[in-house]
Amino acid sequence: MRVTRDIDSAEECAQDAFAVALSRWSTEGVPDRPGAWLTTVARRRALDVVRREAGLRRRLPLLVDAPLSAAGVEAPPEVDDDVIEDDRLRLICTCCHPALAPEAQVALTLRLLCGLTTAEVARAFLVSESTMAARITRAKQKIAVAGIPYRVPTAGELPERVAAVLDVVHLLFTTGHTAPAGQSLSRRDLAERAIDLARMLHALLPDNADVAGLFALLLLTDARRETRVGADGRLLLLEEQDRHRWDRSSIDEGVALVRVALRRRPPGRYALQAAIAAVHCEAPTWTDTDWREIVALYDILVDVWPSPVVALNRAVAIGMRDGPAAGLDALRPLEAEPQLSSYAYLPASRADFLRRLGRLAEASSAYEEALARTDNEVEREFLRARLRSLSP
């Protein structure tokens, strides 16, 4: 992007580099530093593209009647071959330019940074694939037409982009924490990338409560990563996990950040979500979980950030505090929520409450509905096992 100054051209040059690798590595072998090899080839292609386009603009006046000014034709930019650590942050800040609609900012970044397909990004936003494809195309065009520069904003520019950048990092982490599809429960590379970006943002903006809140949320959630899947590959719920294996240093760092984030009044959405995660992490056992505190935090969060997913999580917490019948009552109004019409965790939550109430036929139907909406194979096997356990 720093070379071509155009997202589409940059993608094509990267794809060309992979195509060359497929051809040459099969005969010459894989180089010692394949990432550096691909970057070098892609950069050379990008320089060729820039030089070719500059040459075309210089020669174009000779091919048309109306003379065109050569002013504005720029020489290929000098490129530093050293690795720049914040290239991903540069791209996030390019995509999160205030000239773009907030939804477009986040969608474009997920597409470019996460490597998600358009269909997967659409699922994250609970919209159709065609709608998301149009949204991403318009965002790319806006960047090109508006000449949005590929650079980290100045200190004065960064605050107006923070909210969108945090949304991107959060969605990047959640996509890695539980992959939308595939054979593995998580994508560790995406989760680690999000944590690195959150840490970088916290270093840039140490006094920003929202940044501290998001960083805390990611650390506290990721602290449980080693215990989410059993040795047999089975999904383990929070109540089944070995808390002695949770990453204590990440929990301590996250809890300290939560205290900082909660000093702002009123607290932001990430600070509240991190506080909920901290309650889970600080409970010695599952039965010691303070569900009253969690529901109280969700009561505040649903006002600060009125999201149907937050309302769903609050309903589940009510069911844990007051029993499965109360949980079902809290879920009922969400059945008509359009944004949750394809969201697997709604029927899965309903199924669990029904199972605990002994209403097995209804629970089976709800588990089948959740299974139809789930593409992650680890989650699918968990739902299938629950279905088998309900059979006579």
All residue ranges of the chain with pLDDT < 70 are: 56-87, 114-115, 150-153, 155, 392
Question: Given this model, what pLDDT does residue 58 score?
Answer: 66
CA 209/CA 59 separation, integer angstroms = 54
Q: Is residue 340 part of a domain?
A: yes
Q: At 373, which CATH number?
A: 1.25.40.10
Instruction: Judge whether 210 lies within some domain.
Output: no
Closest to 165 (Cα-Cα) out of 229, 87, 91, 242: 91
pLDDT digits (tens, 9 = 90+) for 302-346: 999 999 999 999 999 999 999 999 999 999 999 999 889 889 999
- Flag whether 158 is in a domain: no
Q: Is the Cβ–Cβ distance between 13 and 53 less than 8 Å?
A: no
Question: What's the confidence (pLDDT) of residue 68?
Answer: 37
* Preceding amide of 266 cis, omega within 30: yes
Last residue of a domain, one of 42, 63, 84: 63
* 110 within a domain of the structure (yes/no): no
Beta-sheet strands, E only, within 147-305: 181-182
Q: Name the domain boundary from 63, 93, 110.
A: 63
186, part of any domain: no
C-beta separation of 261 from 271 below 8 A:
yes
Query: Do residues 315 and 347 touch, judged by C-beta distance below 8 A?
Result: no
Domain boundary among 41, 63, 85: 63
pLDDT value at residue 30 = 93
Picking from 83, 178, 199, the residue whose alpha carbon sits closest to that of residue 124 is: 178
Conformation bin of residue 215: beta by default, left when phi > 0, alpha when psi is -120 to 50: alpha
Full residue range of the structural domain in which residue 307 is found:
290-392
Tell me the Ramachandran region of residue 5: left when phi exceeds 0, alpha when psi lies from -120 to 50, beta otherwise: left
DSSP string for residues in 181-214: EESSS--HHHHHHHHHHHHHHHHH-TT-HHHHHH
Instruction: Look at the pTM and tell me if it is higher than 0.75.
Output: yes
The pLDDT value given to residue 90: 72
18 falls within a domain: yes
**Number of domains observed in the structure of the chain:** 2
Q: Roughly how many angstroms between the first and final C-alpha of the chain, as a whole number?
A: 59
